[in-house]
C-alpha cells in the first residue's frame, strides 16, 4: 500500500470515528454496517434515533486533502448512486450522508441539489457545520 493510500485509509477511519461519536452524542444507538447484496450497497452505519427511527448513514470525509468529502465529484456520485439504488429496497430507511466538506459551486453543487430534490439522499450533514448537525435531532 502506498503512503498516500495508507494516509487516506487512516483519515477515513478517523472520520468514521468522529461520525460515530457525533451520533452517540445525539443519542443514537449504533449497529454494525449493513450489506444489502440485492442492490449492491454497503451502508456505513445503521443507527436508531432517540425517537426509535432506524436511519442508514454513509460517511464521506477526511481531515486533509485538497478536495475532501463531497467536494470530489466521484465521491459525491458514489453517495448519490447508493441512494438511488437504495430506492429499490423494501422498507427503506432514511439515508443520510455525513461529510466533512460540501461542494460549494459548479457541477458538484448541482448534483447534490438534484439528488436531494429527487429523494435519493434524505439529508446531507456536514460534520463541521452546527446548523447541519442540529438536523440530526429531527430524525
CATH number of the domain enclosing 127:
3.40.1350.10
Q: Is the pLDDT of residue 6 over 60?
A: no
- Asked whether the predicted pLDDT for residue 9 surpasses 70, the reply is no
Q: Are 98 and 91 in contact (CB under 8 A)?
A: no
Specify the pLDDT at position 68: 78
- Written as nine digits, the cell of 52 is 426509535
Percentage of the residues of the chain whose pLDDT score is greater than 90: 81
38-72 core/surface letters (b: 16 or more CB in 10 A; e: else): eeebebbbbbbbeeeeebbbbbbbbeebeebbbbb
Q: What is the pLDDT of residues 41-98, one digit of tens each?
A: 999 999 999 999 999 999 998 766 666 789 999 999 999 999 999 999 999 999 999 9
Residue 10 is predicted with a pLDDT of: 74
SS3 call for 3: helix
Closest CA relative to residue 81, chosen from 41, 45, 110:
41
Q: For the chain, what's the residue count? A: 139
pLDDT band at 8 (very low <50, low <70, confident <90, very high): low
Average confidence score pLDDT of the chain: 91
Q: How many domains does the chain have?
A: 1
Residue 26 has what pLDDT?
Answer: 97
Of 7 and 33, the structure prediction assigns the larger pLDDT to 33
pLDDT reading at 28 higher than 70? yes
* Host domain of residue 59: 3-138
pTM for this prediction: 0.91
Amino acid at each position: 500500500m502506498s503512503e498516500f493510500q495508507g494516509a487516506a485509509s487512516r483519515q477515513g477511519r478517523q472520520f468514521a470515528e468522529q461520525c460515530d461519536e457525533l451520533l452517540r452524542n445525539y443519542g443514537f444507538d449504533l449497529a454494525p454496517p449493513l450489506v444489502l447484496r440485492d442492490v449492491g450497497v454497503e451502508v456505513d452505519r445503521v443507527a436508531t434515533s432517540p425517537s426509535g427511527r432506524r436511519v442508514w448513514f454513509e460517511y464521506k470525509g477526511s481531515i486533509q486533502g485538497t478536495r475532501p468529502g463531497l467536494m470530489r465529484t466521484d465521491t459525491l456520485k458514489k453517495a448519490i448512486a447508493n441512494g438511488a439504488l437504495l430506492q429499490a429496497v423494501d422498507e427503506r430507511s432514511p439515508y443520510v450522508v455525513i461529510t466533512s466538506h460540501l461542494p460549494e459551486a459548479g457541477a458538484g453543487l448541482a448534483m447534490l441539489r438534484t439528488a436531494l430534490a429527487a429523494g435519493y439522499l434524505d439529508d446531507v450533514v456536514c460534520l463541521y457545520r452546527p446548523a447541519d448537525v442540529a438536523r440530526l435531532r429531527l430524525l
